[in-house]
Structure 1
Amino acid sequence: MTDLTDIAPAFIDIAHRIVWATVATVDRHSRPRSRVLHPIWEWEDGTLSGWVGTGPTPVKVADLEHSPYVSVSYWDSQHDIATAECRATWHHDDDTCRRIWDAYVAAPPPLGYDPSIIPAWSDPTRPEFAVLEFTPWRLRVFPGSALLGEGEVLNWRAAAADDQPM
């Protein structure tokens, strides 16, 4: 098992290069539901956190009330894969929403963009804009080159992940 300090930078490299992630939740009938989101990942003081500005739609809210866990998956045409199994937490406070909004604006393309291009989100303090925080408990980085016997597959699981879903 890889140490988080080894896998987090490799995970972020793939995630920020691919940008768009398929994020799956589970509804109240235990049926999976996926959508494409645009997370920004931060690696600070030994902690990896994902942040995504998104609309708190009734479906997302209900799914995360049923189960606060998400699967975040990145894939590109070179078959580079980065996967994070996470606990998701809603943030509606102005400070967090403004900070993540500003992170999108400040990030270089293709990761960065101006969220105000979405009409409902003209401002980070609008109720139509919220932030989901992703706290990973399992990570996997699978470079496409590993399919050819080159490159290293990295796996990490939090020590306290025993109470997390398998």
Structure 2
Amino acid sequence: MVVDKEIAEEFIAVAHRIVWCTVATTDTKGRPRARVLHPLWEYDETAGLAGWIVTRPTPVKVAHLARTPFATCSYWDPAQDVAIADCDAMWVADGPSRARIWAAYRDAPAPLGYDFWSVFPAGPDSDEVGLLRLAPYRLRITGIETLTGQRPPTSWRRSAKAGPKAAARAAGRGVG
């Protein structure tokens, strides 16, 4: 089941306005571990919503995702806008995807846009660069109206039949 376009657009609007989010994974002992990262989200009518993170594939991140291939992205701002995505997370090694996402970050308007050359001078194909693809299985968007009881939260959950492999197939990408 692909994320409804209206819900995806609402999520992207909040996420791209806030830009930085807390991303949590699970360590090898089942404990949560959080860090602040900068995902870029895109929506496609066929593949649905996908998040992309250009990051260092540190031994900690690699071990966490090898054991438990899931991440939660949590956005919050002082106006009480919140967007949360619980996701299947997978490392993407193919060069065309890495180059495309690198360029998408570079070309995005501020404050979302970012030129990774300053952080990764060897470029997108360097072993220092990792690309994470996030495929949401649950979204929740709230605001001050939700906190005050004026509006229910916006939420979406992928059907139980559509697990990570089905989501990857729908996106036209392999799992891994």
Note whether the superposition's TM-score is higher than 0.5.
yes
- Matched with 2:76 is 75
Counting only pairs closer than 5 Å after superposition, residues 142-153 of structure 1 correspond to structure 2 as 142-153=142-153
Structure 2: distance between partners of 1:161 and 1:154? 22
Is contact 1:105–1:114 with CA below 8 Å preserved after alignment? yes
Indicate whether 1:124 and 2:97 are aligned: no
- Matched with 2:25 is 25
CA displacement, residues 80-129 of structure 1 (integer Å, 9 cap, x when unaligned): 000000000101222111111000000000000111111x4441111101
- Matched with 1:141 is 141
Gaps of 5+ in 1: none
Using the TM superposition, give the Cα deviation of residue 8 of structure 1 relative to its aligned residue in structure 2, in angstroms: 0.8
Q: Evaluate the alpha carbon distance shift between residue 9 and residue 33 of structure 1 in structure 2; reply closer, same or farther with a 3 A threshold.
A: same
Structure 2: distance between partners of 1:131 and 1:161? 27
Larger deviation, residues 89-98 vs 120-129: 120-129
Structure 2: distance between partners of 1:82 and 1:158? 16
Gaps of 5+ in 2: 165-176
Is contact 1:138–1:157 with CA below 8 Å preserved after alignment? yes
Structure 2: distance between partners of 1:159 and 1:21? 25
Q: Evaluate the alpha carbon distance shift between residue 63 and residue 81 of structure 1 in structure 2; reply closer, same or farther with a 3 A threshold.
A: same
Indicate whether 1:15 and 2:9 are aligned: no
Query: Which secondary structure does the structure 1 equivalent of 2:160 belong to?
Result: helix
Query: Which secondary structure does the structure 2 equivalent of 1:22 belong to?
Result: strand
Letter matched to residue 107 of structure 2: A
Structure 2: distance between partners of 1:31 and 1:139? 22
Indicate whether 1:63 and 2:64 are aligned: yes
